[in-house]
Structure 1
Amino acid sequence: MKIISTEIKNKVLDSMMRLLDDNRSSILEANKKDLDLFNVADQAMYDRLIVTEDKIDGMMTSIKEVRLQEDPVGKTISKQQLENGLDITNKTAPFGTIMIIYESRPDVTIEAAVLAFKANNKILLKGGKEALHSNTILVELWHKALAENKLSNDFIQQLNMNREETQNFLKNPTEKLDLIVPRGGERLINFVKEYAKCAVLVSGRGNNFLFVDKEADWEKSVKVIMNAKTEKISACNALDKILINSNIENYEQKLTDIYQLLNAKGVETLVDADVNNILKDAQQIKDDAIWKEEFLAMKCCLGSVESLDEAVEKINHNSGGHSATIMTANKNTALQFMEEVDCAAVYQNASTRFTDGGQMGVGAELAISTDKLHHRGPLGLKQLVTNKYYVFGDGQIRE
Structure 2
Amino acid sequence: MKNEQKNNVLLSLAQLLELNREKIMKVNEADISAFPDMDDSMLDRLKVDEKKINGMIRSLEEVASQPDPEGKTLYEFVREDRLRVVNQTVPFGTILIIYESRPDVTIEAAATAFKAGNHILLKGGKEARQTNLLLTELWQQALTGQNASTDYIQYLDLSREETQRLIRENSHRVDLIIPRGGEGLIRFVQENASVPVIVSGRGNNFLYVDDNSDFAMAVRLVVNGKKRISVCNAIDKVLLHKDIDELEEKLSNLVTNLTEKGIEVWGNKEIASLCNSIKVENNAATLCEEYLAPKLYISLVDGIQDAINMINYYSGGHTAVIVTNDATKAVEFMQQVDCAAVYHNASSRFTDGGQFGVGAEIAISTQKLHFRGPLGAQELVTNKWFVYGNGHIRE
TM-score category, normalised to shorter length: over 0.9
Identify the residue that residue 7 of structure 2 maps to in structure 1: 10
Identify the residue that residue 387 of structure 1 maps to in structure 2: 383
Q: How far is the alpha carbon of 1:112 from its aligned partner?
A: 0.9
1:314 to 310, 315, 326: 310
1:155 to 148, 152, 157: 152
More off after superposition, 12-21 vs 296-305: 12-21
In 2, the alpha carbon distance for the partners of 1:35 and 1:333 equals 46
1:302 aligns with 2:317: no
CA shift in 2, pair 1:56/1:282, >3 Å:
closer
Structure 1: runs of 5+ lacking an equivalent: none
Native 8 Å contact 2:267 2:282 kept in 1: no
1:288 to 284, 289, 308: 284
1:80 aligns with 2:65: no
1:32 to 29, 34, 45: 29
Identify the residue that residue 370 of structure 1 maps to in structure 2: 366
In 2, the alpha carbon distance for the partners of 1:258 and 1:26 equals 43
Q: How far is the alpha carbon of 1:105 from its aligned partner?
A: 0.9
CA shift in 2, pair 1:202/1:332, >3 Å:
same
Matching residue's letter, 2:386: Y
CA shift in 2, pair 1:281/1:175, >3 Å:
closer
In 2, the alpha carbon distance for the partners of 1:216 and 1:386 equals 42
More off after superposition, 215-224 vs 54-63: 54-63
Identify the residue that residue 250 of structure 2 maps to in structure 1: 254
In 2, the alpha carbon distance for the partners of 1:280 and 1:28 equals 44
Task: Give the CA RMSD over aligned residues.
Answer: 1.2
2:198 to 170, 180, 201: 201
Q: How far is the alpha carbon of 1:83 from its aligned partner?
A: 2.7
Q: How far is the alpha carbon of 1:9 from its aligned partner?
A: 1.1
Identify the residue that residue 143 of structure 2 maps to in structure 1: 146
In 2, the alpha carbon distance for the partners of 1:238 and 1:295 equals 9
1:185 aligns with 2:195: no
In 2, the alpha carbon distance for the partners of 1:48 and 1:281 equals 30
In 2, the alpha carbon distance for the partners of 1:22 and 1:14 equals 13
CA-to-aligned-CA distance 1:280-336 (integer Å, 9 cap, x gap):
463222310110000111101010001111111111110000000011000001110
Q: Give matches, 1:335-374, under 5 Å.
A: 335-374=331-370
Matching residue's letter, 1:241: K
Native 8 Å contact 2:321 2:342 kept in 1: yes
CA-to-aligned-CA distance 1:74-109 (integer Å, 9 cap, x gap):
011111112333100111100000011111111110
Native 8 Å contact 2:46 2:103 kept in 1: yes
Identify the residue that residue 170 of structure 1 maps to in structure 2: 167
In 1, the alpha carbon distance for the partners of 2:140 and 2:180 equals 23
In 1, the alpha carbon distance for the partners of 2:327 and 2:175 equals 42
Native 8 Å contact 1:40 1:46 kept in 2: no
SS of equivalent residue, structure 1 residue 165: helix
Identify the residue that residue 104 of structure 2 maps to in structure 1: 107
Q: How far is the alpha carbon of 1:257 from its aligned partner?
A: 1.9
Q: How far is the alpha carbon of 1:272 from its aligned partner?
A: 1.7
Percentage identity across paired residues of the two chains: 50
Q: After the TM superposition, which segments of 4 or more aligned residues of structure 1 sit over 4 Å from their partners?
A: none
1:330 aligns with 2:326: yes
CA-to-aligned-CA distance 1:31-65 (integer Å, 9 cap, x gap):
11101112354101101111112222221111111
How many residues align structurally?
Answer: 395
CA-to-aligned-CA distance 1:351-395 (integer Å, 9 cap, x gap):
100101111111111111111000001101100111111001122
In 1, the alpha carbon distance for the partners of 2:23 and 2:255 equals 45
Native 8 Å contact 2:255 2:277 kept in 1: no
Identify the residue that residue 232 of structure 2 maps to in structure 1: 236
Structure 2: runs of 5+ lacking an equivalent: none
In 1, the alpha carbon distance for the partners of 2:355 and 2:346 equals 12
Matching residue's letter, 1:287: N
Q: Give matches, 1:102-141, under 5 Å.
A: 102-141=99-138
In 1, the alpha carbon distance for the partners of 2:3 and 2:275 equals 60
Native 8 Å contact 1:38 1:46 kept in 2: no
Q: How far is the alpha carbon of 1:277 from its aligned partner?
A: 2.7
1:68 aligns with 2:52: no
CA-to-aligned-CA distance 1:155-190 (integer Å, 9 cap, x gap):
101012222111110111222211111112211111
In 2, the alpha carbon distance for the partners of 1:53 and 1:284 equals 40
Normalised by the length of structure 1, the TM-score is: 0.96
In 1, the alpha carbon distance for the partners of 2:106 and 2:330 equals 38
